[in-house]
Amino acid sequence: MLNLNSEITAEMQSERNHEALSAELMARHDVLLDLIGCAPFHYVDIPTHGNVGDLLIMHGTLAFFRKHGLVPKLIAPYFAYDPRWIAPEDVIVFHGGGNFGDLYPYFQELREHIVQNHRENRIIVLPQSLHFSSPEKMQESAQIFRMHADVHICVRDQVSYEMAQKFTDNVYLLPDMAHQLYPMHAANAEPSAGSLRISRVDDESTQQSGLRNMVSTTVTDWPEFVGEREVRINLFRRAIGGFFRRGLGWSANSILMRLWIAYSGRLIADAAQLFARHELIVTDRLHGHILACLLRKQNIVLDNSYGKNSRYVEAWTLDSELVMLQKSNEVAPYQRFGLSAATI
């Protein structure tokens, strides 16, 4: 069990109530209702992989659609979507996340292609964190977007907001769509104990010197958590891609996406159960932090390689009594909040 001293309790009481903050974050998405309107729309670039964070965004987006009676005309991943399916009256709604930029070029190339070739259709990018490692590539992409008069980009933090203004005048500062899943519940037969650390092993990982002495009960990352299920996920991806290449993409997306949404929901439920078994979550995964918030778990947030996590927390969740943010140059938060490495 965590040893929280009286100073922590007093500080927590001075922060904004987590439940009220979560309700406020969900309400901010209502601006999307006016943007989508009553038009038929495509929900494009959904994740069909084992990154639980992206799946949380997708399920949060679908939950938002259900709450407001919005039914996508089509749901499709980037590799099985044909822009020729776009009718003159369709609105294109791109999945949110952190792939707007040049770290993940395939997704950006699809957005740019549609922006260039469908200038009469409204295009909405759901909340993203923008990042370009190359200023030249950012300028090239911004020039393409500026040629379209009805592009609307939603961003998750202030840095992205300023960057997105190079792409369009229609920029909206909104929280991540996964917040629409609040509150989440996970069956857990035993009392929560110890800490869970979700640590990136990809290109966005970074080292936090302030946490060198922190010993967590469980350490994992999304790929390790998904494990052997990745084989089934890859088979599913190949099936969708195969139908698409044979000219059956529209029908395959209509049928197989329902199956994928159900299966990915099970992955999220399993992740929630893993989180529920621990009292504290320590993570440099943005959606490790958000999932902890959805489950009302105390969590320490570390930064990723380019500051996405701290930007997000400072914009939306830092006022929660459950959230502690550690930047790379700060004292470890477990020390700042009266905890010791031995207690977690």
Q: What is the DSSP letter of 331?
A: -
Alpha-carbon distance values, 202 to 206, 301, 326 (Å): 9, 17, 20
- What's the pLDDT tens digit per position in 131-188? 999 999 999 999 999 999 999 999 999 999 999 999 999 999 999 999 999 999 997 7
List where CATH 3.40.50 sits in the chain: 19-178
pLDDT for position 339 = 55
Least confident of 7-21, 52-66, 135-149, 293-307: 7-21
Q: What is the mean pLDDT of residues 216-229?
A: 90
d(CA 48, CA 52): 10
What percent of the chain lies above the pLDDT cut of 70? 85
Beta bridge partners of 101: 131
Sheet holding 298-302, edge to edge: 218-220, 195-198, 280-283, 298-302, 323-326
Q: What's the one-letter identity of residue 19?
A: E
Q: Record the tokens describing residue 191, joined without a space.
A: 């009392």
Q: What is the DSSP letter of 172?
A: E
Q: Under a CB-based contact definition with an 8 Å cutoff, are residues 90 and 121 in contact? A: yes
d(CA 272, CA 292): 8
What CATH architecture is 19-178?
A: 3-Layer(aba) Sandwich (3.40)
List the one residue out of 160, 141, 131, 45 whose CA is nearest residue 304. Answer: 131
Q: Reply yes or no: is the peptide bond before residue 47 cis, omega within 30 of 0.
A: no
Helix (H, G, I), strand (E, B) or coil at 29: helix
Cα dihedral 218, 219, 224, 227, rounded to 10, equals: -10
Q: Is the pTM of this model over 0.75?
A: yes
